[in-house]
């Protein structure tokens, strides 16, 4: 199976770049499943339902959120109606939405997509490791399993916590990929147990910025510890950043893990088709 995970979509520049490029990427890379993190798609904070619909129309199969999941109040009823949009599964019981979903792909195959949010320098949610463990206990991966691949989005600040996720679930999922910090890391690889791993997929947005936000106001917040104007997304040329993974349908484990960087100002990287 051929999977693409795109990192945090930031603002209009990121949304438009993804919507423009994704149909062509699906064809060029012969993708079976595309997962997009879009928790910053709406002006940098949250996701509006109409933006989710646009990403699905462009070719996304599932959308993950994160710590900005509920910044747009209209997302709450939408989460109950649209199972393809998931928030971190380690929110407390009773939180709107779900933290996992199964995508149906070609060839009668299925992909489990789930998201956990870290706790280091983040909100003190329920234990993300045990939440993931409990969800994985409901599925068996591989040719004769309930799903043929599993994608785990770890939305976390600390690289150490993301790496701990990778090693904890190595051999049990197809891909562990980090989001939230908006900077693509160069440690994409297949771990010893066969799980593809990357500490952070990066963002889909304008990198001439401070993690996707206009650099002037964002920089002043570090110089002056006083209230400042609300941050707004940068709107220059956007780079799509993500991770491409090819898996073995028999086991669900990764055969290769490669970076994707397209457009904008970063060095380009396109997986071989």
Summarised one tens digit per residue, pLDDT across range 23-60 is: 999 999 999 999 999 999 999 999 999 999 999 999 99
Does the 2-262 domain belong in CATH 3.60.21.10?
Answer: yes
pLDDT at site 104? 97
User: Catalytic one among 43, 68, 155, 182?
Assistant: 68
Does residue 68 have an active-site annotation? yes
At residue 253, the pLDDT reads 98
**239: helix, coil or strand?**
strand
Residue 139 neighbours by CB under 8 Å, 6+ apart? 112, 145, 146, 147, 150
Q: Which residues of the chain have pLDDT under 50?
A: none
List residues bridging with 257 in a β-sheet. Answer: 245
The H or E element spanning position 24 is helix 11-28
Give me the pLDDT at residue 226, please: 76
């Amino acid at each position: 199976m051929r999977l693409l995970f795109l990192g945090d979509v930031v603002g209009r520049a990121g949304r438009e770049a993804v919507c423009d490029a994704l149909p062509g990427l699906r064809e060029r890379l012969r993708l079976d499943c595309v997962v997009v993190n879009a928790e910053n798609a709406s002006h940098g904070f949250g996701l509006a339902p109409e933006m989710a619909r646009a990403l699905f129309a462009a070719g996304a199969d599932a959308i993950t959120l994160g710590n900005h999941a509920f910044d747009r109040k209209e997302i709450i009823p939408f989460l109950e109606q649209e199972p393809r949009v998931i928030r971190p599964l380690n929110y407390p019981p009773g939180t709107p939405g779900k933290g996992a979903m199964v995508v149906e792909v070609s060839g009668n195959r299925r992909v489990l997509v789930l998201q956990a949010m870290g706790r280091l320098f983040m909100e003190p949610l329920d234990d993300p490791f045990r939440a993931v463990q409990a969800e994985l206990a409901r599925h068996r991966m591989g040719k004769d399993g309930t799903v043929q691949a599993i994608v785990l989005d770890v939305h976390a600040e600390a690289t150490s916590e993301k790496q701990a996720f990778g090693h904890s679930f190595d051999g049990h999922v197809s891909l562990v990929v980090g989001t939230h910090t908006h900077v693509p890391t160069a440690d994409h690889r297949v771990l010893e147990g066969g799980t593809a791993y990357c500490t952070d997929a990066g963002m889909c947005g304008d990198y001439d910025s401070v993690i996707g936000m206009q650099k002037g106001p964002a920089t002043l917040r570090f110089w002056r510890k006083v209230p400042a104007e609300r941050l707004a997304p940068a709107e220059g040329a956007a780079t799509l950043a993500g991770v491409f993974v090819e898996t073995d349908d028999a086991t669900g484990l990764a055969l290769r893990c490669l970076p994707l960087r397209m457009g904008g100002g970063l060095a380009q990287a396109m997986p071989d088709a």
